[in-house]
Amino acid sequence: MVHISDGILSAEVLAAGWVITAAVLASTIQRIEAENIPKLSLITAAFFVASLIHIPLGPTSVHLILNGLVGITLGVLSFTSIFIGIVLQAFLLGHGGITTIGVNTMNMGLPALAAYGIFRLKNKKKIELSGGLAAGSAVILTVLLTALTIFTTGKEFTGVVIALTAAHVPIILVETIVTGSITGFLMKVKPELLNTT
């Protein structure tokens, strides 16, 4: 639902989305090391498939985003992962437009980086809480960025924010709980999967 379709945004906004995405990609893609690739592929696969898990909500349905989990596990590489995932979702699943890949990556990738930042301030005793908080914040930030992007089309900002937030309350709750639990589990069994550096 946070994937914006083609034909909605102006050329200026689309171009800005591509420029920001290209700039962040250029600065983060060089940090990929050979040993990160299996983890990057696995998490990208999870992000790619997550958009197919729909939660029925009144007249509509919303799907998981998982950008918070991507941020926690991949750190600065999360932006690259989200870019690849969004490209595949757009071309293979029809989620979001092709021209909006830049904007959609920006709207989901920047919150993933923010989730990584929040997670780094973690409370070691309550790692589940830190993970959940980071994931919930990532979804909220994604909704706000999407609303801000749609606002440029001339729609009333408050109305869009309310509509998108209302639709995403279940997703915020689900992702907070799921990512919090995954974080706690990974910390116990495979802490190296969490990006704690």
Partner 1 sequence: MDKQIQIIIIAALLVLSCGLASAHRIHVSTQIGEISVKSWIGGGSPVKEGDVKVYMITEGVEELYLEGTTDLNGEFGFPPKIGVKEYRIVVEPTDLPGHKAETILNMTQLQSCESGEGMPTYLGVISGLGYLAGLAGLSSMWIYRKKQKK
Interaction site with partner 1 (CB under 8 A): 1-8, 32-34, 37-38, 40-41, 44-45, 48-49, 52, 54, 56, 59-61, 63, 84, 88-89, 92-95, 146-147, 149-150, 155, 160, 163-164, 167
Closer CB to partner 1, residue 69 or residue 164? Answer: 164
With b meaning 16 or more CB within 10 Å and e meaning fewer, what string describes 20-30? bbeebbeebee
> Would you say 64 or 187 has its CB closer to partner 1?
64
Nearest distance from C-beta of residue 162 to partner 1, angstroms: 10
In this complex, which beta carbon is closest to partner 1, that of residue 19 or of residue 52?
52
Quick one: 150 or 186, whose CB is closer to partner 1?
150
Q: What is the Cα–Cα distance from 89 to 101, expressed in whole angstroms?
A: 10
Closest CA to 20 of 122, 102, 123, 116: 102
Instruction: Please report how close the Cβ of residue 16 comes to partner 1 at its closest, in angstroms.
Output: 16
Cβ atoms of 95 and 161 closer than 8 Å? no
Cα torsion 178, 179, 182, 187: sign: negative
How far CA 66 is from CA of 45, 135, 155, in Å, comes to: 11, 7, 27
Smaller CB distance to partner 1: residue 84 or 177?
Answer: 84
C-alpha 62/C-alpha 168 separation (Å) is 7
Query: From CA 57, how far away is CA 59, in angstroms rounded?
Result: 6
Minimum gap (Å) between residue 42 Cβ and partner 1: 9
CB of 122 to partner 1, least distance (A): 28
State how far the Cα of 98 lies from the Cα of 131, in Å rounded to an integer.
31
Q: How far is the CB of 142 from partner 1 (least distance, A)?
A: 12
